């Protein structure tokens, strides 16, 4: 039977530390600000953006929301990004994805100043992560590492399997596990013998986007299982990528959905925004 990794508790601790530092900066006349840009009416994005704003409040970070209509052009969004790049009260810029189809996501990410890119999606920041010399870590993989650390399990020498190869989660996740000397395998939709590979994992990270994808027969006895999935069942209930009830019996540690990785992503965003603001005191 697994121990449950409490993402809410770990994220609360991270946010508390951020808040203390933000307030210490404030006492020295330095305010910390995050601009959150949302384009269109995607309901999931609306929920995420509201949660990010709430987290800013909890951490004493100023949040500036820019809600643009669905028909916004790429040029209009680029103009806003440029304005935010040049705004000293904005330390971090987050453009919520996905964007409407008339806007090229890559062009927008490339336009965000790497120093304000608190998602760590810009190619410069991605490159820095590859060589291990980064300012920001992407929020979800960084949150997963915090959760793994909270168990006391070390990554060094462990077989780590990441299911999913997205730019946002799978690829950077693999890199962070590698930085801590894990032996890392990335699986994806074309992987052969996926179940056998997963079954070798001491640490298994599922970022597939399919409900109940990881079943108990794919999990090694005693594995640490991290579920990045956020899927909605037909009845509207949230669930992860892992068939929780049966994997719970086999894993040593497991993250629930909700209440696992989700809250960590936002906590790490707060941490990145603080990191971005510290640049001002070094200059
Ligand atoms: N959409 C889903 N996850 C994310 C994220 O981490 N950052 C941004 N900007 N958009 C997202």
pLDDT in tens, 63-114: 999 999 999 999 999 999 999 999 999 999 999 999 999 999 999 999 999 9
pLDDT at 156: 98
* 102 among known catalytic residues: no
Nearest CA, atom 3, ligand 1 = 97
* 139 Cα nearest atom in ligand 1: 6
Q: Give the pLDDT of residue 32.
A: 98
**Nearest-angstrom CA–CA distance, 113 and 270:** 18
3-state secondary structure (DSSP) of residue 59: coil
Annotated active-site residue 6? The verdict is no
Check pLDDT > 80 for residue 282: no
Q: E strands within the chain?
A: 3-4, 33-39, 62-68, 92-95, 159-163, 183-187, 203-206, 224-227, 231-232, 238-239, 253-254
As a residue count, the chain comes to 283
Closest atom of ligand 1 to CA, residue 45: 1
Residues in contact with ligand 1 (CB, 6 Å cut-off): 94-97, 119, 139, 168, 265
pLDDT reported for residue 158: 98
pLDDT computed for residue 168 by the predictor: 95
Is pTM beyond 0.75? Reply is: yes
As given in the structure block, the two tokens for residue 249 are: 């019996």
Domains of the chain: 29-114 (3.40.50.10860), 139-261 (3.40.50.720)
- Percent of the chain residues topping a pLDDT of 70: 100
Mean per-residue pLDDT over the chain, rounded: 97
How far from 98 is each of 42, 82, 86, 124, CA to CA, in Å? 8, 20, 24, 21
Compute the distance between CA of residue 183 and CA of residue 161 in angstroms, rounded to an integer: 8
Say how many Å lie between the CA of residue 28 and the centre of ligand 1.
32
Which of 91, 119, 202, 227 is catalytic? The answer is 119
Atom of ligand 1 nearest to the CA of 269: 6
Q: How far is the CA of 109 from the centre of ligand 1 (A)?
A: 11
The pLDDT score that the predictor gives to residue 279 is: 87
Choosing from 49, 65, 96 the residue with most ligand 1 atoms within 8 A of its CB, the one to mutate for a pocket test is 96
Q: Whose CA is nearest to atom 9 of ligand 1?
A: 96
- The residue whose two tokens read 């203390």 is 20
Residue 281, pLDDT score: 80
The residue whose two tokens read 């801590």 is 180
- Top mutation candidate among 46, 121, 168, 230 for ligand 1, by most atoms within 8 Å of CB: 168
pLDDT > 70? residue 237? yes
CA of 282 to the centre of ligand 1 (A): 28
Is 119 one of the catalytic residues? yes
Q: Which listed residue (15, 91, 96, 171) is catalytic?
A: 96
Residue 283 pLDDT greater than 80, yes or no:
no
pLDDT tens-place string over residues 130-175: 999 999 999 999 999 999 999 999 999 999 999 999 999 999 999 9
């Amino acid at each position: 039977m697994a121990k449950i990794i409490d993402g809410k508790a770990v994220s609360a601790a991270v946010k508390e530390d951020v808040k203390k530092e933000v307030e210490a900066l404030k006492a020295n006349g330095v305010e910390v600000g995050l601009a959150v840009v949302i384009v269109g009416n995607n309901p999931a994005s609306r929920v995420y953006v509201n949660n990010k704003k709430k987290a800013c409040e909890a951490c004493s970070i100023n949040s500036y929301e820019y809600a643009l209509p669905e028909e916004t052009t790429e040029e209009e969004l680029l103009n806003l990004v440029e304005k935010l790049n040049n705004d000293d009260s904005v330390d971090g810029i987050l453009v919520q994805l996905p964007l409407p189809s008339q806007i090229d996501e890559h062009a927008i990410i490339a336009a965000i100043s790497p120093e304000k890119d608190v998602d760590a999606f810009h190619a410069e920041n991605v490159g820095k992560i590859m060589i291990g010399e980064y300012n920001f870590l992407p929020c979800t993989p960084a949150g997963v590492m915090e959760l793994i650390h909270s168990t006391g399990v070390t990554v060094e020498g462990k077989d780590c399997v990441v299911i999913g190869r997205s730019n946002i989660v799978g690829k950077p996740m693999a890199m962070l596990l590698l930085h801590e000397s894990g032996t890392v395998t990335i699986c994806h939709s074309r992987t052969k013998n996926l179940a056998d590979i997963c079954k070798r994992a001491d640490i298994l990270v599922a970022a597939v986007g399919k409900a109940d994808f990881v079943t108990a027969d794919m999990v090694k006895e005693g594995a640490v299982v991290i579920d990045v999935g956020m899927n909605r069942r037909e009845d509207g209930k949230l669930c992860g990528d892992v068939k929780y009830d049966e994997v719970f019996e086999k894993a040593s540690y497991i993250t629930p959905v909700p209440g696992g990785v989700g809250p960590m992503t936002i906590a790490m965003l707060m941490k990145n925004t603080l990191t971005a603001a510290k640049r001002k005191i070094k200059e």
